[in-house]
């Protein structure tokens, strides 16, 4: 029982990936929009039909939102789903690619 299992990429000496996770950036986008609208989390959650706790976890990048939940939250914020996805993609693009010289098999596709 005292066995330790290492996941791929977790080995000592391997560089850490610096790319943010989709769920983290998605949460930032949703939270930024909600705050820009000066709305409280409970109001947006109620309008979207999700619990405030769940929406909070999505905003903090702790939970992966399903497409249905994401659509409901986008609607509650007065956004189209494509706008939310575009904002997330834009932020990911600005933050740049992974800096990992030890990746094997990675190549550009023409």
Q: Does residue 10 fall inside a structural domain?
A: no
Domain count, the chain: 1
Distance (Å, rounded) from C-alpha 70 to C-alpha 89? 15
Q: Does residue 110 fall inside a structural domain?
A: no
Q: Which domain holds residue 39?
A: 22-94
32-84: per-residue pLDDT in tens? Answer: 999 999 999 999 999 999 999 999 999 999 999 999 999 999 999 999 999 99
User: Given this model, what pLDDT does residue 59 score?
Assistant: 98
* Choice between 105 and 79, residue whose per-residue pLDDT is larger: 79
Distance (Å, rounded) from C-alpha 37 to C-alpha 51? 19
Q: Does residue 63 fall inside a structural domain?
A: yes
Supply the CATH number for residue 70's domain: 1.10.260.40
Q: Tell me: pLDDT of 96 over 70.
A: no
Q: Does residue 40 fall inside a structural domain?
A: yes
């Amino acid at each position: 029982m005292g066995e330790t299992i290492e996941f791929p990429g977790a080995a000592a000496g391997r560089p850490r990936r610096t790319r943010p996770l989709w769920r983290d950036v998605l949460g930032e986008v949703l939270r930024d929009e909600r705050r820009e609208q000066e709305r409280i989390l409970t109001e947006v959650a109620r309008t979207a039909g999700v619990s405030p706790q769940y929406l909070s976890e999505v905003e903090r990048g702790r939970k992966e939102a399903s497409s249905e939940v994401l659509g409901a939250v986008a609607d509650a914020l007065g956004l189209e789903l494509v706008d939310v996805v575009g904002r997330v993609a834009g932020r990911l693009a600005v933050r740049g690619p992974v800096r990992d010289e030890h990746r094997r098999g990675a190549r550009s596709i023409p």
